[in-house]
Structure 1
Amino acid sequence: MAHKKGIKHPFLMSHPCSSPQQILMRKIIIVSMLVVIVLFMSGATCLHAQQIIVTDALERQINFETPPQRIVVTGKAFFMITDALYLFPAAADRIAATGIFQQGAQSFIAMLDPKAAEKAVFAPNAGAEQIAAFQPDAVILKSYLAESLGTTLDVLGIPVVYVDLETPEQYLRDLRIIGDLFGQPERAEELVEYYQHGVEEIQTALHDLAATQTPRVLLLNYSNKDGVTAFQVPPLNWIQTRLVELAGGEPVWRESNPGKGWSTVTLEQISAWDADVILIVSYFKNLTEVLREIKADQTWNAVRAVQTNHLYAFPGDLNIWDQPNPRWILGLTWLAQKLHSERFADVDIIAVTQEFYQKLYNLDTAFFETHLRPMLQGDLQ
């Protein structure tokens, strides 16, 4: 039987009349076609790789064909979300619109983003139709806005990503959600590690704390509307309550406000709680002025924490550190030291604050000393 020789592709077979130049040209065409096919397949793979799947705080899965470039952050307490978004390098280019800032948050974002003033702004009562008209690629909302705003955005075809950012535990989860949305999961893990390490250090120092060493703590929000002063306690599931617990304190108001918002309390109730330590927060009036006003009020003289000089202004800078924004870890560190100074004698809260801005926002020491340290307020020492 005759041995069969290898079969060549007809396009590559030499025709009796083919010149060497024609054969070379055919080979070049074949190679070019192969290159085009490979590039096409690579492009399809890259396109697929750019697809993003986000599972939000409501455990909804949102699919993005490409990373969202026009992100809107709006709704009540949106500025808490914005501060968290700017922990990621992608935020400045991706955030296209926000709500109207409060509590000095706008000036802080302007420090981080030179183009912050160019972004669109939505009024506090902006509806779904107004937001949809902006044609965002994604809208980030607090989860409690799902029914009042998010559902309509869904109907209008606008992808919504929900976050809570309310307790330390939710904060770590939501940082991962944001990291997935920005396509920067590695940065999210860096941030989660920073917060976990900070909490673990405090818990380690307090691990053998006896019940008799746990001070009774009362946190009050100062409010003044139309000349009427009121004091309020936070709900059980808000971050203020968790910070007191994590710092080794007992929130005396724990059973009195299982609701969803600040609850006004009387001075009689404040006296009856007989807290060892009282913490005052004020979001719209200077803390020094608030404490001066309280101490000048004779009716407060009967409160034991005032008599023992354990009435403190919860510190902050552009924002008070008791809130669910990235600075809550500073509030926890300060509070643990304030309640248990003997266990945290080596903690320098100013140095901790400078390190926070360096690691989380990439703001160096010179920037901190010039722009942020002068804004520090409250009973830091």
Structure 2
Amino acid sequence: MGRLLSGLLLVSLSASAFADPGDEGQTIQASPLKSRQVQDDGGQQVKVPAAPARIADGWYAHHVLLMTLGAGSRIVATVNHPESQPWMFKILPALNQATAIEGTGFNAETLLAGHVELVFTALGDRQAIAYRQLGLPVMQMGYTDLAGLKRSMLNTAEALGGAEPRTRALAYNGFLDQQLASVNDAVAGIPAEQRPKELHIASVNPLKVDGADTLINDWIKLAGGRNAATGLKGNLQIVSAEQLLAWQPDVLILAANAGRLDQAAQAQLLNQLEAVRNGRVLRNPAGVFPWDRYGTEVALQVPWAAQQLHPALFTDVDMAAQTVDFYRRFFDYPLTPEDAQRILHGEPPATAP
């Protein structure tokens, strides 16, 4: 499928480009005209079709929420790609039939031509204005903690309509609560000063880390750690190797696609970190979406991180088995134990999606 140009260029594209992936190229019927009022994550009221069947999703992480709710096959326009999210396209092969764009700006006229009924964007995405001007319903989504994720699950389920998405949202939220409670029971008695200082590195070149007011900061604390990036707020903040030496984290967790420390511009300085000297450099798991960033697999991230930070407290936790079970329950996919190990090591599928 050819990729659409991002932005608002008036590109001509037939509706067949948005054919239902599960119907062998035949377009699916538009939803009934009946509509409902729902709320997006920004608190805005949005009028949506009763059961939107053709969705354009402009936020990379939100695809995983749709998949968890059993609605991944409704995505007919996407900002994700097999090269960057290979597990997503392997677990949901129908996504290979969706029209993909570079960046996050769908062509609004093209969405109309493709009979898209609902658009999801990230909070603050200015493209939402253009979509709304053409009469497309837009849900703007985003959160910075796990409580926000749970709200987003319910808001997304309401937008999708029907009983199944809401049932699955409640099931996921309940599972997440169980995971958090189990980890909290194990780490609650650890004094604050004994909790390891963990630094999450999103990229080594340029060197980017994640600070406070982020979901990453949330799961670090829940896993029984302290975010070493004191005084820093927000995601993907560029820092120097000297700053890391000042923070002196006990543990480094590298995002699956962050690169290797020896690829950093100041690799020699990073080698002076106690975490590096002590062999406490970890690679974060990545599956349908990176576990550490804004997807539903954060329910696996918290116990994984807790086990890495406090191995003696989680000797009975089998993360491979948990991963297989999670994929069966929430992605309706029979993950093999071998695939689970690849995900846990931040590796792509053995075969291309």
- Tell me the TM-score range normalised by the shorter chain: 0.7 to 0.9
Distance 2:121 2:245 in 1: 39
* 2:237 maps to amino acid: S
- Summarize deviations over 1:294-349 as a string: whole Å, max 9, x none: 7x954333211122222222233454321111222222111111111222121111
Tell me the equivalent position of 1:59: 43
Corresponding residue for 1:218?
A: 199
Counterpart CA distance in 1 for 2:197 and 2:49 is 52
CA contact (8 A) 1:222 1:282 kept: no
Pick closer, same or farther for the CA change 1:284–1:102 going to 2, 3 Å. Answer: farther
CA 222–282 in structure 1, closer or farther in 2 if over 3 Å, else same: farther
Deviation beyond 4 Å, 4+ runs, structure 1: 291-294
Given the superposition, is the C-alpha separation of residues 320 and 70 from structure 1 closer, same or farther in structure 2, using an over 3 Å criterion?
closer
Identity %: 22
Q: Distance in 1 between matches of 2:83 and 2:299?
A: 18
Among 74, 81, 100, which residue is 1:101 paired with? 81
SS of equivalent to 2:203: strand
What is aligned with 1:241? 217
C-alpha displacement of 1:149: 1.1
Comparing both chains, which one has the higher relative contact order based on Cα–Cα distances under 8 Å and sequence gaps of 6 or more?
2
Residues 356 and 240 of structure 1, relative CA distance in 2, 3 Å threshold: same
1:368 is the counterpart of 2:336: yes
Report deviation, 1:166.
4.1
Task: Give, in whole Å, the separation in 2 of the partners of 1:98 and 1:212.
Answer: 44
| Distance change in 2, residues 1:197/1:58 (3 Å) | same
Relative to 1, partners in 2 of residues 1:247 and 1:230: Cα closer, same or farther, differing over 3 Å?
A: same
SS at match of 1:89: coil
Gapped runs of 5+ residues in structure 1? 1-46, 224-228
The question of 1:269 aligning with 2:243 is answered yes
State how far apart, in whole Å, the 2-side matches of 1:346 and 1:246 are. Answer: 19
Is 2:229 aligned against 1:250?
Answer: no
TM-score, normalised on structure 2? 0.79
Matched, 1:111 2:111: no
Could you tell me which of 179, 191, 201 is aligned with 2:157? 179
Corresponding residue SS for 1:242: helix
Letter in 1 for 2:168: R
3-state SS of the aligned residue for 2:330?
Answer: helix
Deviation string 1:171-196 (CA, Å, 9 cap, x unpaired) is 11111112112222112111111111
Equivalent AA in structure 1 for residue 115 of structure 2:
Q
Residue equivalent to 1:32: none
> 2-side partners of 1:370 and 1:250: how far apart?
32
Question: Which amino acid in 1 is paired with 2:246?
Answer: A
Unmatched tracts of structure 2, length 5 or more: 1-31, 348-353
Query: Distance in 1 between the 2:116 and 2:321 partners?
Result: 40
More helix by share: 1
Query: Which protein shows a greater Rg?
Result: 1
| Cα distance between partner residues in 1 of 2:42 and 2:289 | 27
Cα deviation for residue 371 of structure 1 reads: 4.5
Deviations along 1:234-265, one digit per CA (max 9) or x if unpaired, are 24222111111111111121312x24x41221
Distance (Å, rounded) in 2 between the aligned partners of 1:103 and 1:245: 32
Q: Which amino acid aligns with 1:332?
A: V
Equivalent-residue separation in structure 1 for 2:189 and 2:83 (angstroms): 38
Q: Which residue of 2 aligns with 1:356?
A: 326
Tell me, yes or no, if the aligned pair for 2:203 and 2:209 is still in contact at 8 Å: no
Match of 2:27 in 1: none
TM-score (norm 1): 0.74
Distance in 2 (CA, whole Å) between partners of 1:112 and 1:378 is 16
Q: Deviations over 1:256-287 (max 9, x none)?
A: 2x24x4122111111111212222224264xx
Please report how far the alpha carbon of residue 122 of structure 1 lies from its aligned counterpart in structure 2 after TM superposition.
3.1
Q: Which amino acid aligns with 1:254?
A: T
